[in-house]
């Protein structure tokens, strides 16, 4: 499917990091750890984040002049909440030189691809959209980890305009971070993540908000145990980031939500009718699927320890 181009181990003279939080900061720290970069310039809405990022060795310098920052850059990484991508790409566009590759780390891709095509126009071939599948409960530069991406998947959703060289440059940068490269179309990507990530976040947020709004919320939280803690861990994520993701991937998310609520309504009927067999069937299919999934993960982890891709 992919015409792989083998390049020598890349070195980046100048990387521009737009958004110096968990995702961007971890990318920067990983590139630095592999000695693959000479200089990283930080750009961020929050001045205190930039100062912290410099103190933590994530960036070597920072600026609020995005136009000046991108001059002579090899690579520009956009690692901001997805709703900001259009504005950032538009700010970059007039200053973007032919030798520079732009990529992003957004959790949705069809909207980013559309925004880039509109903002970057004839320079759109230089933008390679990607999504690293990694995260933590914490946000901000002080949450960044050099090994956040080790063994994690990065999905590249290349555009028809992208050259193999441009795609390979982004892939190489992520491989230097220890990540494993996958390729999907933007639509495939968004549909997959609506199902296994965006919907679970929406469900977890809604449950915790529902419980918190009850008059006896204190007692409820008092008896919530480790199962609830794990189930709601993702409701500890950034509300702004997930608001943006929910809106950016609205159509796929609505489709998954409707499919889910349909199943929930069926189970509700089984419960009303005290249909033990129907309830057990759903629970058993879920348990079996999850056991198989965990077993597959463990096989994959064992293989990657043996030195796979």
Q: Which of residues 261-280 bind a copy of itself (CB under 8 A)?
A: 261, 263-265, 267-268, 271-272, 274, 276, 279-280
Beta bridge partners of 40: 15
| Residue 17 token pair | 């990091």
Q: Is 98 in the site for a copy of itself (CB under 8 A)?
A: no
> Could you give the count of Cα atoms lying within 13 Å of 98 in the half-sphere of its Cβ?
0
Percent helix, percent strand, percent coil in the chain, to nearest 5:
60, 10, 30
Nearer to a copy of itself, 121 or 223 (CB): 223
Q: Which of residues 139-168 bind a copy of itself (CB under 8 A)?
A: 152-153, 155
Nearer to a copy of itself, 107 or 172 (CB): 107
Which residue in 94, 160, 239, 307 binds a copy of itself (CB under 8 A)?
Answer: 239
Q: Is 164 exposed, middle or buried (0-12, 13-18, 19+ CB in 10 A)?
A: middle
Q: Is 35 in the site for a copy of itself (CB under 8 A)?
A: no
Which residue in 284, 301, 302, 308 binds a copy of itself (CB under 8 A)?
Answer: 284
**Burial letters 22-61, b for 16+ CB under 10 A, else e:** bbbbbbbbbbbebebbeebbbbbeeeebbbbbbeeebbbe
Q: Is 285 in the site for a copy of itself (CB under 8 A)?
A: yes
Nearer to a copy of itself, 66 or 207 (CB): 207
Which residue in 48, 287, 303, 304 binds a copy of itself (CB under 8 A)?
Answer: 287
Cα 89 from Cα 16, distance rounded (Å):
13
**Residue 5 CB, nearest approach to a copy of itself (Å):** 25
Which residue in 243, 301, 303, 304 binds a copy of itself (CB under 8 A)?
Answer: 243
Nearer to a copy of itself, 23 or 59 (CB): 23
| Residue 233 token pair | 């861990």
Phi-psi region of 166 (alpha: psi -120 to 50; beta: other; left: phi over 0): alpha
Stretch of 85-93, 109-117, 143-151, 241-249 contacting a copy of itself, by CB under 8 A: 241-249
Q: Is 238 in the site for a copy of itself (CB under 8 A)?
A: yes
Cα 20 from Cα 44, distance rounded (Å):
6
Stretch of 24-32, 55-63, 68-76, 255-263 contacting a copy of itself, by CB under 8 A: 255-263
How many residues lie near a copy of itself (CB under 8 A)? 87
Q: Which residues contact 97 (CB under 8 A, 6 or more apart)?
A: 70, 71, 72, 73
**Residue 54 CB, nearest approach to a copy of itself (Å):** 28
Sign, CA torsion 11/13/17/18? negative
Residue 88 near residue 116 (C-beta atoms within 8 A): no
- String marking each residue 49-68 x if it binds a copy of itself according to CB under 8 A: --------------------
Extended beta strands in the chain, E state: 12-18, 37-43, 61-62, 75-78, 101-104, 127-128, 130-132, 153-156, 180-183
Cα 113 from Cα 125, distance rounded (Å):
11
**Residue 300 CB, nearest approach to a copy of itself (Å):** 9
Q: Which of residues 177-236 bind a copy of itself (CB under 8 A)?
A: 182, 188, 192-193, 195-197, 199-214, 217, 219-221, 223-236
Q: Is 250 in the site for a copy of itself (CB under 8 A)?
A: yes
**Residue 84 CB, nearest approach to a copy of itself (Å):** 13
Helix axes 22-33, 164-176, angle to 10 degrees: 80
**Residue 305 CB, nearest approach to a copy of itself (Å):** 18
């Amino acid at each position: 499917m992919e015409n792989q181009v083998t390049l020598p181990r890349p070195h980046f003279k100048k990387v521009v990091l737009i958004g110096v939080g968990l995702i961007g900061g971890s990318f920067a720290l990983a590139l630095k750890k592999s000695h693959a970069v000479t200089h990283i310039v930080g750009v961020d809405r929050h001045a205190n984040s930039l100062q912290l990022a410099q103190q933590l060795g994530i960036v070597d310098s920072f600026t609020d002049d995005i136009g000046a920052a991108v001059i002579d850059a090899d690579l520009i990484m956009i690692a901001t909440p997805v709703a900001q991508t259009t504005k950032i790409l538009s700010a970059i566009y007039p200053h973007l030189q032919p030798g520079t590759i732009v990529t992003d780390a957004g959790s949705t891709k069809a909207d980013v691809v559309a925004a880039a095509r509109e903002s970057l126009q004839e320079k759109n071939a230089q933008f390679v959209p990607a999504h690293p599948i990694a995260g933590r409960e914490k946000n901000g530069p002080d949450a960044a980890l050099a090994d956040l991406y080790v063994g994690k998947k990065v999905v590249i959703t290349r555009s028809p305009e992208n050259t193999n060289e441009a795609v390979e440059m982004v892939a190489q940068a992520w491989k230097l971070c220890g990540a494993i490269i996958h390729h999907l179309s933007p639509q495939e990507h968004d549909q997959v993540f609506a199902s296994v990530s965006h919907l679970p976040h929406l469900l977890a947020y809604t449950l915790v908000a529902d419980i918190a709004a009850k008059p006896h919320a204190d007692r409820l939280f008092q008896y919530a145990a480790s199962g609830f803690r794990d189930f709601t861990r993702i409701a500890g994520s950034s509300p702004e980031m997930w608001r943006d993701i929910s809106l950016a991937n609205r159509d796929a998310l609505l489709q998954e939500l409707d499919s889910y609520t349909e199943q929930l309504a069926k189970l509700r009927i089984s419960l009303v009718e005290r249909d033990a067999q129907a309830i057990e069937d759903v629970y058993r299919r879920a348990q079996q699927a999850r056991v198989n999934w965990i077993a597959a993960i463990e096989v994959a982890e064992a293989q990657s320890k043996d030195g796979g891709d």
